[in-house]
Structure 1
């Protein structure tokens, strides 16, 4: 199966250093030397589209700009790139969310993907007026997706659940095509939702053995529901012409991380209710001495950033090898990012993607069967820079 690559929109700001924030950390803890203006975000999406990324993930939370509004504005300056919009069930009604998605899909010409984020931190959810605990939030997410999918099928929905209720809900114009639903979570409650409702299950970048276990877990649950799901992984990336250059860049990023900031961020993340966040923290334990937690997998980003905290680091060939290793486990989609996001998109797009294309694992989504790759994509069987 051909691999799919998505890039990332840092709607909290970008920098040549690691930008912290995310996953329940206080609003304003992100920031960056490059503000998240529409002009700058356009640079990122134009680069991603030209290089061959299929979509771009946009985060959700008090620490960043609103994902729906930001991506809706960016659809007007792109032609092919899809937008993986992160949103939280329970902050809007399922009928309104289904309608918003249908509208976005029509106006963007079918370029919406949805990343459902249940919300791993009760204190952050309460700031939005949501006072359910974690287990109840996952139960509500299941009810929410049940209603939304029925509405997208064009059904009239009467539903009374433990958390949600609608009567006579119907969309006058269901979306065409129906957006794929992406979802992540490492707790038992998350697995149940994934098995029953989602198209693609996302895991954060853990070592291959751990990822193999999560894929087997979700596949088993989905089979019990008579379903199959795709699998994706969320990673940062530092790819260079040589491994030495890549690790030098990782070292430079690490040198720019203040120990006091690490201590503060780790103390906050240690209180997280998220099982996935706990697994991220366990990879490095807050220390700097053993950050290569698996070959070419570096956990330095997670010292100051919640959520996805690992990066693939190495030469273009080494990064391609690690991607192929994850692919052999069952991963078919990669959601990537790097600091800063414009430059790292080009390092990866011009360095790693041609190698994967030569191995028959990737094809530029804008290429026609007979015309080859779009202009600007180098034909290379090895490194491209």
Structure 2
């Protein structure tokens, strides 16, 4: 298993859907989260993208200088940036971070937000544009001169002068549940991402993606995006889940669900269908809780339970073929520690905790190391 954490650049706190217990999110705080993730042994961090977030490239650049090993999963946005600009950004970041860049391809799922940004394309058109974008972007990073004229994009004698450190290009992560998304992912993704759906749904999606890649003579790796609520006992964990939404009122839920209803993202539609905007039955699969998705777009499910149970559920996803687990919890600084302390010892990690050899509890009576 490879475990990533999350940088909450659109806000953080002890509760969701309220400003009660909200965290002051500054560069200093984001650095604390990133440095904790590195010290604890997470392989990398995901930075979210969209108009509700701090810019992911700017923030990742700031955080890279505060870390040594941590990788940064940062979004390229076809239609909102050109492939030539994206190639230059990738080259600069990858070289100056010593090869710590990972690329998250995001075609967008909210037509209203995209129109506000100046992009007026239908769902499938965005993925057609994404395919042209990645064709140009990839060739540029391979140090080719590119002349291309497609339906959406056109470049003439484009060249990327500065090479990336990771050859032939930084790994490409790609999520999408629609046939159009899977078509493009089958050709260009290195790691296909899914949100935290029940295992049977994930199994079905991964099978479809394996077939899409095989049709192009390719193979893929797989990742999943999940929240984690783990405590020493199951009772404490479920109480923590309940506390997370304790200040969430029905009006706030209704407003959020109206926004999700307008989205053309198949993944968001699948997430919303798991709970239907209702509080009544939020455990949608053993220990898989959809309460976060009542007001949070994108990844809306959390694994809830004691360490042994949560580790077992993660192993079930691993058996399906998931290798990379992008995790998060509220607040993100404290939960990064809690997940590492309670879960890491039970998981077959690809990166061992750097902190483990140096960690110790408080000296007993000023004389004895704790056992």
Normalised by the length of structure 1, the TM-score is 0.90
- CA distance in structure 2 between the partners assigned to 1:363 and 1:135 by the alignment: 37
| Equivalent residue number for residue 367 of structure 2 | none
Q: Secondary structure at the match of 1:77?
A: coil
- How many pairs were matched up? 359
Q: Secondary structure at the match of 2:322?
A: coil
Q: Are 1:65 and 2:54 matched, yes or no?
A: yes
> In the TM superposition, what is the alpha-carbon distance from 1:364 to its structure 2 partner?
2.7
CA contact (8 A) 1:19 1:32 kept: no
- CA distance in structure 2 between the partners assigned to 1:318 and 1:168 by the alignment: 56
- CA distance in structure 2 between the partners assigned to 1:69 and 1:297 by the alignment: 34
| Equivalent residue number for residue 181 of structure 1 | 172
Q: Are 1:147 and 2:127 matched, yes or no?
A: no
- CA distance in structure 2 between the partners assigned to 1:99 and 1:168 by the alignment: 15
Q: Are 1:276 and 2:263 matched, yes or no?
A: no
Moved more, 84-93 or 334-343: 84-93
CA contact (8 A) 1:89 1:117 kept: yes
1:193-208 maps to which residues of 2 (within 5 A)?
193-208=184-199
- CA distance in structure 2 between the partners assigned to 1:36 and 1:51 by the alignment: 21
> In the TM superposition, what is the alpha-carbon distance from 1:121 to its structure 2 partner?
1.5
Q: Secondary structure at the match of 2:129?
A: helix
CA contact (8 A) 1:184 1:203 kept: yes
Q: Secondary structure at the match of 1:332?
A: strand
CA contact (8 A) 2:78 2:106 kept: yes
Q: Are 1:267 and 2:258 matched, yes or no?
A: yes
- CA distance in structure 1 between the partners assigned to 2:20 and 2:31 by the alignment: 18
> In the TM superposition, what is the alpha-carbon distance from 1:140 to its structure 2 partner?
0.6
| Equivalent residue number for residue 362 of structure 1 | 349
Taking only aligned residues, the RMSD between alpha carbons, in angstroms, comes to 1.7
Unaligned regions of 5+ residues in structure 1, if any?
21-29, 379-385
1:16 is matched with which residue: 14, 17, 20? 14
| CA spacing shift, 1:64–1:366, aligned 2, 3 Å | same
CA contact (8 A) 2:174 2:193 kept: yes
Runs of 4+ that moved beyond 6 A? none
- CA distance in structure 1 between the partners assigned to 2:224 and 2:87 by the alignment: 26
| CA spacing shift, 1:324–1:131, aligned 2, 3 Å | same
For 1:141-193, what per-residue CA distance to the aligned partner results, in whole angstroms no more than 9, with x for missing partners?
01111111111111111111111111111111220112111111111100001
Normalised by the length of structure 2, the TM-score is 0.94
> In the TM superposition, what is the alpha-carbon distance from 1:375 to its structure 2 partner?
2.6
Unaligned regions of 5+ residues in structure 2, if any?
362-371
1:1-385 maps to which residues of 2 (within 5 A)?
3-18=1-16, 33-177=22-166, 178-356=169-347, 361-364=348-351, 373-376=356-359
- CA distance in structure 1 between the partners assigned to 2:140 and 2:302 by the alignment: 38
> In the TM superposition, what is the alpha-carbon distance from 1:339 to its structure 2 partner?
0.5
CA contact (8 A) 2:40 2:353 kept: no
> In the TM superposition, what is the alpha-carbon distance from 1:126 to its structure 2 partner?
1.1
For 1:246-295, what per-residue CA distance to the aligned partner results, in whole angstroms no more than 9, with x for missing partners?
00100111222111101111122112111111111111111111100001
Q: Secondary structure at the match of 1:91?
A: coil
- CA distance in structure 2 between the partners assigned to 1:251 and 1:206 by the alignment: 20
- CA distance in structure 2 between the partners assigned to 1:158 and 1:42 by the alignment: 41
- CA distance in structure 2 between the partners assigned to 1:246 and 1:55 by the alignment: 25
| CA spacing shift, 1:32–1:81, aligned 2, 3 Å | farther
